[in-house]
């Protein structure tokens, strides 16, 4: 039996398999680069001299950011395409498994907006400044603030990624009651609490609660703090899920 026959490649099931495969591959690239920036590049840049850092921003970071932002696009597009070819979505998204996937989609779309609306927009300022300084020009005073804004959004994306991946990947393994359709009240309570926590995190990353150092910034100060915060967020999200929907 050929692979095409075994998965019925030219049927709806086969198309779903293809979109899911692409989604996983480009998602690995996106999240892998997100972790590279947070766990490898940022700490390394902090130890470099200014000239070496500017050169690395020009030659390394600019290339990595190209793959990063377009991997984000490919991940979102392939994910939406996968949703588009699936059947019976209306009832599925009223079930515990569907709500878990919906929650991960919320996190992923927020991360996508952060990539293009905050990280890349501010990193263009940083890259332009690095290249200008290397060419003998004056440093752009806006570059430091732009770099900080990009860092906060990137760290927040790293935090979001932990519950996002757990809910998206774990949906196929959690012991859900098959065929259960949750009531509107159950779903409403879950989304209300989930939404409040989600928006508070995002507003914090955007600097709504203050742009300088402070207690609300501790989670972004180091990549270790971001990892710990993401794990705590995951536990809290699973607890909300279990208590309100379990």
DSSP labels, 106-172? HHHHHHHHHIIIIIHHHHHHHHHHHHHHHTT-PPPTTHHHHHHHHHHHHHHHHHHHHHHHHHHHHTT
Q: What is the dihedral of CA 236, 239, 245, 246, to 10 degrees?
A: 160
For 60-83, write each residue's pLDDT tens digit. Answer: 999 999 999 999 999 999 999 998
**What was the pLDDT predicted at 85?**
86
Distances (CA, A) of 165 to 35, 88, 102, 122, 137: 13, 23, 12, 26, 43
**What was the pLDDT predicted at 11?**
77
| Cα distance between residue 64 and residue 36, in whole Å | 9
- For residue 167 the two structure tokens come to 């809910």
**What was the pLDDT predicted at 176?**
56
pTM score, whole prediction? 0.90
> 243 pLDDT exceeds 50?
yes
**What was the pLDDT predicted at 88?**
67
- The answer to whether 151 and 206 are in contact (CB under 8 A) is no
Residue 7: pLDDT band with limits 50, 70, 90 = low
Q: What is the mean pLDDT of residues 90-108?
A: 89
Q: Half-sphere exposure of residue 105, counting CA atoms within 13 Å on the CB side? A: 17
Q: Angle at CA 30, nearest 5°, toward 81 and 237?
A: 80
Q: What is the mean pLDDT of the chain?
A: 89
Helix ranges (H only) for the chain are 3-7, 12-36, 42-46, 50-56, 62-85, 89-92, 96-114, 120-134, 143-170, 184-205, 218-221, 223-245
**Spatial CA neighbour of 160 closest among 208, 213, 127, 200:** 200
Mark 126-137 as b/e (b = at least 16 C-beta within 10 Å): bbbbbeebeeee
| Cα distance between residue 22 and residue 39, in whole Å | 25
Q: Which has more confidence, 14 or 118?
A: 118
Coil, strand, or helix at residue 7?
Answer: helix
Q: Which has more confidence, 23 or 1?
A: 23
**Spatial CA neighbour of 29 closest among 65, 82, 53, 61:** 65
Q: What is the mean pLDDT of residues 1-5?
A: 53
For 137-147, write each residue's pLDDT tens digit. Answer: 999 999 999 99
**What was the pLDDT predicted at 56?**
96
- The answer to whether 226 and 205 are in contact (CB under 8 A) is no
């Amino acid at each position: 039996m050929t692979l095409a026959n075994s998965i019925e490649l030219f049927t709806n099931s086969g198309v779903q398999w293809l979109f899911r495969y692409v989604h996983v591959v480009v998602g690995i690239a996106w999240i892998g680069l997100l972790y590279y920036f947070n766990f490898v590049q940022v700490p390394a840049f902090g130890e470099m001299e200014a000239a070496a850092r500017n050169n690395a921003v020009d030659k390394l970071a600019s290339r990595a950011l190209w793959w990063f932002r377009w991997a984000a696009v490919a991940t979102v597009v392939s994910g939406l395409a996968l949703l588009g070819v699936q059947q019976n979505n209306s009832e599925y998204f009223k079930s515990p498994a569907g709500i878990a996937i919906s929650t991960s989609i919320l996190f992923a779309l927020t991360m996508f907006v952060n990539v293009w609306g905050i990280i890349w927009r501010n990193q263009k300022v940083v890259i332009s400044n690095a290249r200008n300084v290397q060419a003998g020009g004056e440093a752009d005073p806006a570059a430091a603030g732009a770099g900080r804004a990009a860092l906060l959004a990137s760290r927040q994306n790293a935090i979001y990624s932990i519950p996002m991946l757990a809910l998206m990947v774990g949906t196929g393994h959690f012991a859900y009651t098959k065929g259960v359709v949750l009531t509107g009240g159950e779903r409403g309570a879950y989304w209300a609490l989930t939404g409040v926590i989600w928006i508070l995190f995002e507003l914090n990353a955007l600097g709504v609660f203050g742009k300088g150092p402070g207690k609300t910034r501790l989670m972004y100060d180091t990549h270790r703090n971001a990892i710990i915060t993401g794990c705590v967020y995951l536990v809290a999200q699973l607890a909300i899920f279990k208590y309100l929907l379990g």
